[in-house]
Amino acid sequence: MKILVIRFSSMGDIIYTTPVVRCLKKQLPDAEVHFLTKPVFKYIYDNNPYVDRLLLLKPTLSETIKEIKSENYDYIIDLHNNLRTSLIKLRTGIKSSTYRKQRLRKWLSLKFNLKLVPAVHLVERYLKTVKFLGVKNDGKPIDYYIKTEHDLKKLLPGSHQESYVAFVIGATHFTKRMPNEKIISICRQINRPVVLLGGQDVKVNGNEIADLVGMNVHNACGSTSLDESVYLISKAASVIGFDTGLTHIAEAFDKPVASIWGGTAPELLGVQPYMVKNAQVIGIDLPCRPCSKFGLEKCPLGHFKCMNNIPEKVVVNFVNNVQRD
């Protein structure tokens, strides 16, 4: 049996496909499992032992379809369910099973502040697509395989190499991020070293936070590769983060996670921390929240209470009370 699993984006959504691929490969050991995604997300499945081949979306959909046809798949497992995957399924004629996005329920929930989407994790929703093959949830966390065993001494100053808190301060959209002054206040109350993580886009933010808090904070934003950032996550005592891919990746290492939510809501998307022994989801109940599914460039009402009113002590107590190694 030859199976193609498809998910094009985004980082967090692709991370949550890893249990599906693992369950397929382990429960159907004679099956050959391939995965198709965008080239920019190739790193998520690099070194993954449950994928026999990683296919990357080509410049034109016709080229991709031609490659898919040449592989003679028995099934397509469509975990994206968009126009491109619909065209792939139509033009290849391969038997398929497709993830249901519940678009109408999500839209109504967002538009009218209703709770029409069952609180079922995205992993569970994905796994429904392979139920027809007799595949079941194995109850294990998501998978992420670091490419290199990095040298912690080269990545962090000596004072930050043990029992540190990894604080992921980046996120794609403004309404997912906490304001600098709020992060500064939280960092000042944490009783162990703090390592700030994120991309080049939040390097300046990280510098401001580190300068104002002092020696307890090290800014690694923009100065470490993604693989190095994941390695730092894997060695942390605990993790603080927002609705962003790096925070979700932390779940693969079963780290205590304080998952902070602003304008988005985990229950709407089904992306609360998955199979993590010690996790706390932190968000404010407001009539205007969530204001979007994926985040916005500014608060629609201007007050940004969903982040400004996050109770700092809840975050601080969570990471301060994690047992030291």
- Assigned fold of 2-133: Rossmann fold (3.40.50)
263-308 pLDDT, tens per residue? Answer: 999 988 788 999 999 999 999 999 999 999 889 999 999 999 999 9
Mean pLDDT of 31-39: 98
- Coarse DSSP helix, strand, coil percentages of the chain, rounded to the nearest 5 percent: 40, 15, 45
Mean pLDDT of 84-103: 94
121-145 pLDDT, tens per residue? Answer: 999 999 999 999 999 999 999 999 9
Predicted confidence band of residue 115 (pLDDT cuts 50, 70, 90): confident
Closest CA to 61 of 97, 35, 90: 90
- The number of beta carbons lying within 10 Å of the beta carbon of residue 254 is 15
Task: Provide the pLDDT for residue 184.
Answer: 98
Residue 164 has pLDDT above 90, yes or no: yes
CATH 3.40.50.2000 assigned to 153-320: yes
Report yes or no: 312 and 291 within 8 Å, Cβ to Cβ: no
Report yes or no: 185 and 312 within 8 Å, Cβ to Cβ: yes
Secondary structure (DSSP) of 5-71: EE----HHHHHTTHHHHHHHHHHSTT-EEEEEE-GGGGGGTTT-TT-SEEEE--SSHHHHHHHHHHH
Residue 87 has pLDDT above 80, yes or no: yes
Closest CA to 28 of 133, 107, 109: 133
Per-domain boundaries in the chain: 2-133, 153-320
173-223 pLDDT, tens per residue? Answer: 999 999 999 999 999 999 999 999 999 999 999 999 999 999 999 999 999
What sign does the CA torsion over 247, 126, 75, 61 have?
negative
Same fold, 2-133 and 153-320: yes
Residue 325 has pLDDT above 80, yes or no: no
SS3 label, residue 131: helix
9-27 pLDDT, tens per residue? Answer: 989 899 999 999 999 999 9
Q: How many angstroms separate the CA atoms of 142 and 15, rounded?
A: 7
More confident residue, 167 or 148: 167
37-85 pLDDT, tens per residue? Answer: 999 999 999 999 999 999 999 999 999 999 999 999 999 999 999 999 9
More confident residue, 87 or 323: 87
Residue 108 has pLDDT above 80, yes or no: no
Closest CA to 187 of 154, 202, 209, 156: 209
Amino acid letter, 116: L
Amino acid letter, 221: C
Task: Provide the pLDDT for residue 112.
Answer: 63
